[in-house]
Structure 1
């Protein structure tokens, strides 16, 4: 075995039955080199497939030595510390990007996203919701919901309070990784599995879901739902500012180009090109009927919003008198007609 899709060595939390609740990977690897792969495979007697192996103390020491000999001193030192605490350690070896079948596998893939090793929809997360347990995230870490009352009682008897921050399948990203070059005003609003690009600022009401994010310098003041990727190649001067909702999901990727603006409480269900604006309060779905206006404000044609996907320099607004959704462009009627009919 000389190739792997991904390798993760980490520590995590189990419930009283030994079921995994979460896993932290300090240095997840995508397509690790053959030396590291062979070293780990030999120690763990790996025979192929996607596996999660709970590590013994002897295996931890052997892995640290083997990885050091393979040339990755940083990872070796991290693995060596696994034996210094009382948390269980795990090795996850993925030879393919198949859907995750265990909590350690799912957490490795979420780490790959937040470490910017893969982009949203660049990794198979199918079936992940069925794999991940609902967990109480507390000031003492992850707690199984069936064991929460007992833990709360033990804390009270000591004169303490077990503070439950949230109950969810996903923890906040910053408890696992803080990407370089970002500002996050309210860390609880960014889930593990978010891809937050260099130079992104997420304000207090901003929210970034797993399998979603920003590719570059952006200002986020609204919600970015799963499947959405904004600001590919954007910069601060022409970055994408969003105060509304960007919704994806399934196999749909909603991308937003450079220099776009979504007004307060606005939302989109189609990808936008560069320099597009959606006025405040306007929500556009793929099937929304849009009256397309030319550069003189004349209606050229009425189309579905999906027909305008990925086009540049569009202004989406609602007519204050008729209530119709309109799209204003900088093209003449002739140019616009030719473009729309060529698209259809």
Structure 2
């Protein structure tokens, strides 16, 4: 058995009455754990290789705590606490970054993102949706939807209220991870699996999906969808300001460079280079036809927006008279056209 793993974590979670996992909380997930740690853990939990989520009891957690005391004090301390749990425990070991096969595996990879151990699209998340059960996220934690009516009645009979905050596959990130150095106005709008970099502020209407996020510092006032990673900013004291929609999808990462501004109700479907501006209300997709203008505002060439992907110092706007999408640059558009021609 190899002692080289992609990831390892000890978690506590929630199961329904049939013993199916609803969610898992990993306080200290590890990326590429030390071989010595893996060698100590494997025989105690019966791990023989591959990607596995292995249920453990409190006695086994206590044994692991002792075994890891001189190897990894932080993991040992965590296991000491887990040994006191009244909830089900799991040890999840990923030998390789492969497609997901269980709910504990899926939650581990979401934690790796929100703990900033991997960046968006930095790991294999294939098969994640079927493995994330749609559950009720309540004031008493995750509840299986089939068990919700009985739980609500039980609470009422005790004079209590079981409040349902959402019904979704993804919980909010801050119930699992609160990254350092961030401001989040409405935590319900940040899903577990979001990567929120140091110095990021997410305003009340900001939304960050799983497998998306910001390098920071930055200001998010709009939607950052899956596959989007917003780079460092330099706008007014720190931020790349996004007020519109940044849309990714499939295996495509939509990156946003430093110092960009995406206006209110605007959106992009292409990566942006540094210091790009997209005016309010404009949505630029890869196939959008763009009139490339020189510094005097004269038309040089009509290109598809994908040809401008990643270029710095661009302003995307819509002509108020013709409705055409236009692009100006601090450089001469002729120079940009030549650069694009040379690249192609």
Shared topology, TM-score over 0.5? yes
What's 1:107 paired with? 107
1:125 aligns with 2:125: yes
- Flag the 1:203–1:324 CA change in 2: closer, same or farther, 3 A: same
- CA drift of 1:230 comes to 0.4
Indicate if the aligned counterparts of 2:292 and 2:333 stay in contact, CA closer than 8 A.
no
- CA drift of 1:89 comes to 0.4
- Flag the 1:187–1:69 CA change in 2: closer, same or farther, 3 A: same
What's 2:18 paired with? 17
Query: Structure 1: where are the runs of 5+ without partners?
Result: none
The CA distance in 2 between the partners of 1:219 and 1:169, in whole Å, is 26
Helix, strand or coil at the partner of 1:2: coil
- CA drift of 1:85 comes to 2.6
1:189 aligns with 2:209: no
What's 2:56 paired with? 55
The CA distance in 2 between the partners of 1:86 and 1:336, in whole Å, is 63
- CA drift of 1:59 comes to 1.2
The CA distance in 1 between the partners of 2:336 and 2:309, in whole Å, is 14
The CA distance in 2 between the partners of 1:88 and 1:235, in whole Å, is 47
The CA distance in 2 between the partners of 1:24 and 1:275, in whole Å, is 38
* Larger mean Cα displacement after TM superposition, 136-145 or 321-330: 321-330
What's 2:280 paired with? 280
The CA distance in 2 between the partners of 1:317 and 1:208, in whole Å, is 25
Helix, strand or coil at the partner of 1:107: helix
Indicate if the aligned counterparts of 2:232 and 2:240 stay in contact, CA closer than 8 A.
no
The CA distance in 1 between the partners of 2:12 and 2:34, in whole Å, is 22
Indicate if the aligned counterparts of 2:275 and 2:312 stay in contact, CA closer than 8 A.
yes
What TM-score comes out, normalization by structure 2 length?
Answer: 0.97
* C-alpha distance after superposition, 1:53-77 (max 9, x if no partner): 110222111111111132x112111
Helix, strand or coil at the partner of 2:326: strand
- Flag the 1:235–1:321 CA change in 2: closer, same or farther, 3 A: closer
* Larger mean Cα displacement after TM superposition, 298-307 or 36-45: 36-45
The CA distance in 1 between the partners of 2:151 and 2:309, in whole Å, is 51
Indicate if the aligned counterparts of 2:97 and 2:124 stay in contact, CA closer than 8 A.
yes
Helix, strand or coil at the partner of 2:307: helix
Indicate if the aligned counterparts of 1:318 and 1:325 stay in contact, CA closer than 8 A.
yes
1:77 aligns with 2:73: no
- Flag the 1:233–1:319 CA change in 2: closer, same or farther, 3 A: closer
The root-mean-square deviation of aligned C-alpha atoms, in Å, is: 1.3
- CA drift of 1:331 comes to 2.7
* Matched pairs, number: 343
Indicate if the aligned counterparts of 1:53 and 1:91 stay in contact, CA closer than 8 A.
yes
1:256 aligns with 2:256: yes
- CA drift of 1:145 comes to 0.4
What TM-score comes out, normalization by structure 1 length?
Answer: 0.97
- CA drift of 1:7 comes to 0.1
- CA drift of 1:235 comes to 7.8
1:239 aligns with 2:229: no
What's 1:8 paired with? 9
Helix, strand or coil at the partner of 1:69: coil
- CA drift of 1:330 comes to 2.3
- Flag the 1:333–1:309 CA change in 2: closer, same or farther, 3 A: closer
* C-alpha distance after superposition, 1:4-58 (max 9, x if no partner): 1100101000000000000000100000011111111121121100000110222
What's 2:166 paired with? 166
- Flag the 1:299–1:238 CA change in 2: closer, same or farther, 3 A: farther
* Larger mean Cα displacement after TM superposition, 57-66 or 100-109: 57-66
